[in-house]
Amino acid sequence: LLIISDTPQVSPSVMQPLSINELVLHRPAGSPGYALLESLTIPGLLSWILMIIGVRVWSQRSWTFSAIFIVLPLVILYGIWSAFAFR
């Protein structure tokens, strides 16, 4: 991405090509929720899936427990963040 850019100054959004904002929404910098949408990335979502699988294998609990155990803190964190970001 740095090699094919036109200028030596590259915006931060170019450095996150797999973020939800860059892939789907294309919100400009400074708009409400920009930082939140830039932090949600495809590798981040895949790491959540790997964490769910890891908890399932390590604890021998159900898939439901593993998913809730991993996703609930993330939903709370991103929920609070989005409440402040999209005001």
Residue 69 has pLDDT above 80, yes or no: yes
* 67 vs 28: CA distance, rounded Å: 33
Q: What is the pLDDT of residue 33?
A: 86
Q: What is the pLDDT of residue 29?
A: 82
CB 68 within 8 A of CB 83: no
Q: What is the pLDDT of residue 79?
A: 94
**∠ Cα 72 77 75 (to 5°):** 35
Tokens matching residue 62: 């159900």
What percentage of the chain has pLDDT greater than the value 70?
Answer: 97
Q: What is the pLDDT of residue 8?
A: 75
Residue 51 has pLDDT above 90, yes or no: yes
Q: What is the pLDDT of residue 62?
A: 96
CB atoms under 10 Å from CB of 67, counted, come to 16
